[in-house]
Amino acid sequence: MKFIHTADWQIGMKAEALGDRAPQVREERLAAAQRVTEVARTENADFILVAGDVFEDNAVDRRLVQKVADTLRSFGAPIFIIPGNHDPLIPGSVWEHPSWNTPNITVIRENTRIEVSQAVIYPCPLMEKRSTSNPTAWIPNENNSRIRIGLAHGTVEGIRQDEPDYPIPRNTPEVKDLDYLALGHWHSYASYTGADGNVRMAYSGTHETTKFGERDSGNVLIVEIDSAGKPPVIRRAKTGGLNWLSVSEELIDQGDINKVKYLIDSMLNPSRTLIQLAISGILPMEERSELEHIEQMLDTRFLWSHIDCSQLRPAPTDRSWIEDLGPGVIQETARRLLGSSGSEPEVTQLALARLYNIVKGSVK
C-alpha cells in the first residue's frame, strides 16, 4: 500500500512582507498543490492524506476554495483532509463550500475510523484555533489486521513552545499501535524514530516553502507499508517551485566582495528565488561599487531580495583607529604589527585588517 502525506498548504497566505511580489508567491502555492497530485499519480498512490491547514484561514476567497477542490478532484483516487488550526471546522468555515461534495474527496468532520485500501485511518480534525488537548487521544486500540494510520495536526512533545498547542506525545505510534502517524502544523520536514528503531511518525512539511528558515520544506512524503506491523518506507518528493535562500557572508580580506558577487551572479533560477543576504565585516572604499553591483543584481534578477549591511563597516582610511583603542593588549598588538620588520607588507596589512574587524565586530 502506498500513499502521499502532505500538509500545511496555507492557500491564501498573504505574504504581505513580499510587497508586489506576493501574488507570484501566492500563485505558486496553488501550482504546488497541482504538483502534489502529479506526484501521487506518477507514484500510483492509493490515496492522499492532507494533515491540516490547507487554507490560511476560514475567510479566504471562495474562488481559491473551488480551485483547490478542482485540483484535488483531478487526482481521482481518494483524498482525506482534516481541518487544521488555521481552517478549523466551525460554522462558516471553508469546509461548508459545496465544492467539497466530490466523490473522491473526504473532509473529515468527526473523530471516526475510515477504511481505505488495506488501511484503517484514524483522523483527528480540529474544531478550534487553539487547544491544550491532545487531538490523537480518541484513537482506540482495537484488534484488526489492517494497517493503522493516524492523521493529525499539532505539536509533537519536545518542540519548544510557549504553551501547549495541540500537544501530541512522542510515543503516540507505540501507545496507539499505529503503523504510521501523518502530522501537520510545523512547516519543516521532521521524522521521529520509535523505540523499535523505525520511523512511524513524521511531519511532511509544507508542499511549498512559506518563509525563510524552514528546513527541507517544499516536499511531500511517499509512504509505503507492506502490511500491518511492517516498518514504513518513506521517501520525499519535491513539489516546491520557489527557493528561499538565506545567505550570510563575512568580508575579511581585500577582494572578498568579489566572491560574494560571483556567488550571487552564478545562482541558478534567480527569477524563482527569494533571497536574503547579510554581509558583515569590512569593505574597503574602492570596493564600494562592487557592493552596488550586487544590490542591482539582487533587485532586478531575483524574484524578491533583501540585503542587510548593518554589520558591514567601511575599512579604515588611516591608522587613527589604533590610537582610538586606548592602552591595552589590542593596541599593543596593533602597534607591534605596524612595527614588525620581518613580515611582508601585505601580511601586515591583512593582519591589521583582521584585527580591525575583530575590534569593531566586538563593539555591538
Among 306, 304, 273, residue whose Cα is nearest residue 21: 304
Closest CB to Mn ion among residues 83, 240 = 83
Q: Which stretch binds Mn ion (CB under 5 A): 39-47, 121-129, 180-188, 211-219?
A: 180-188
Closest CB to Mn ion among residues 85, 357 = 85
Q: Which stretch binds Mn ion (CB under 5 A): 49-57, 89-97, 120-128, 310-318?
A: 49-57
CA–CA separation, 305 vs 242, rounded Å? Answer: 13
CB of 267 to Mn ion, least distance (A): 32
Q: Which stretch binds Mn ion (CB under 5 A): 48-56, 59-67, 244-252, 355-363?
A: 48-56
Bridge partners of residue 244, in order along the sequence: 274
Closest CB to Mn ion among residues 78, 84 = 84
CB of 217 to Mn ion, least distance (A): 14
Closest CB to Mn ion among residues 13, 334 = 13
Sketch the per residue contact string, 206 through 245, with Mn ion: x for CB under 5 A, - otherwise: ----------------------------------------
- Angle 345-361/329-339 helices, nearest 10 degrees? 160
Q: Which stretch binds Mn ion (CB under 5 A): 9-17, 73-81, 177-185, 233-241?
A: 177-185
Does 185 interact with Mn ion (rule: CB under 5 A)? yes
Determine the residue with CB nearest Mn ion. Answer: 185
CB of 185 to Mn ion, least distance (A): 4
Among 6, 10, 85, 305, binds Mn ion (CB under 5 A): 85
CA–CA separation, 288 vs 270, rounded Å? Answer: 23
Among 53, 56, 87, 287, binds Mn ion (CB under 5 A): 53
Q: Which stretch binds Mn ion (CB under 5 A): 18-26, 79-87, 120-128, 254-262?
A: 79-87
CB of 54 to Mn ion, least distance (A): 10
Does 58 interact with Mn ion (rule: CB under 5 A)? no
Task: Measure the CA dihedral 77/186/123/194, to 10°.
Answer: 100
CB of 72 to Mn ion, least distance (A): 19
Does 87 interact with Mn ion (rule: CB under 5 A)? no
Number of residues in contact with Mn ion under rule CB under 5 A? 4
Q: Which stretch binds Mn ion (CB under 5 A): 76-84, 189-197, 260-268, 352-360?
A: 76-84
Closest CB to Mn ion among residues 35, 185 = 185
Q: Which residues bind Mn ion (CB under 5 A)?
A: 53, 84-85, 185
